[in-house]
Amino acid sequence: MENRTIKHNVSLGTVVVVVLVVLLHQAALAGPLIDIHTYADWTNEISGTGNITPIPTWESAGFEYVYPGESAYFVIPSLMALSDDEGHPALQLDFGTGVEDTPVIGGFVYNMVDDPDLSGGEANFSIKKLRSGAKPATYSLHLVDKNLKKMIWKFPIPEGGTSSDPWDNVTINFGTTPPTHVDPGFDLTKVSQINWDLRSLYSNTPYRSTFDHVRVTPEPMTFTMLALGGLLLRRRRRQG
């Protein structure tokens, strides 16, 4: 009986190890929450049944935290999927025309499904660099939790864009990249929206800007620990 018990426990331990290896492998292959790369992707996301819409109001995105006192310059852009912009499918934001050197601010929002946990997750995307002579511009990324609290990162759009090097590739890690603003009590485990926005100045032509791809991934270990926790709980119940 003693030998059988020892053999049984070793077997259970082996199962736990094997399953953990499988879970780690599955976590490494876990798909992103947002993955937009192709013209069809952009077209589907901005359609009536997609997840992307223009940011509807100044207040909803928390613009006042990063562009204080400039609410009069908020514009709702039109969104268009481009099949080829500098060699890549892209999303174009068209803000129309305005008085030269007047600020223009606006962007788009991705409405998340099931308020996912983005602790340790990250966003990857590309934005068009400024060409020579272009007006200075900034962009920001806003996470909005289920209670409408915000976490925001803001950066200048880099200059030096050329036909051979038009895109700036950006990675923002939600756990380690220092944010520009965080509301007290912001809940990174329940994110309902992600906003991308732009601020620039009008020139003598319509102001347009484009994003190449958007990819948002959660922390892979989140899935692993949840699954492993469930496995160990079932094991304890059987032993009890």
pLDDT of residue 164: 86
146 three-state secondary structure: coil
Q: What digits encode the pLDDT tens for the residues 83-109?
A: 999 888 999 999 999 999 999 999 999
> Which of 111, 135, 122, 131 lies closest to 194, judged by CA?
111
Same domain, 206 and 232: no
Same domain, 131 and 185: yes
Q: What is the mean pLDDT of residues 141-158?
A: 96
Same domain, 57 and 1: no
Domain count, the chain: 2
Q: What is the CATH number of the domain that holds 104?
A: 2.60.120.430
pLDDT tier at 30, thresholds 50, 70, 90:
low
Q: 55 pLDDT exceeds 80? A: yes
- Indicate the angle between helix axes 2-28 and 220-239, nearest 10 degrees: 160
Question: Is the pTM above the cut of 0.95?
Answer: no
Q: What digits encode the pLDDT tens for the residues 203-239?
A: 988 999 999 899 999 865 544 444 444 444 444 444 5
17 lies in which domain range?
1-30+220-240
Q: 51 pLDDT exceeds 50? A: yes
pLDDT of residue 232: 44
For the chain, the first-to-last Cα distance in angstroms comes to 18
Same domain, 22 and 121: no
pLDDT of residue 231: 43
Same domain, 169 and 68: yes
> Which of 195, 71, 197 lies closest to 144, judged by CA?
195
Using an 8 Å Cβ cutoff, are 39 and 82 in contact?
yes
Using an 8 Å Cβ cutoff, are 207 and 24 in contact?
no
Same domain, 26 and 36: no
Same domain, 192 and 140: yes
Strand partners, 145: 191
Same domain, 88 and 24: no
Same domain, 26 and 38: no
Which residues contact residue 36 at a Cβ distance below 8 angstroms, ignoring those fewer than 6 apart?
42, 45, 91, 213, 214, 215
Using an 8 Å Cβ cutoff, are 192 and 111 in contact?
yes
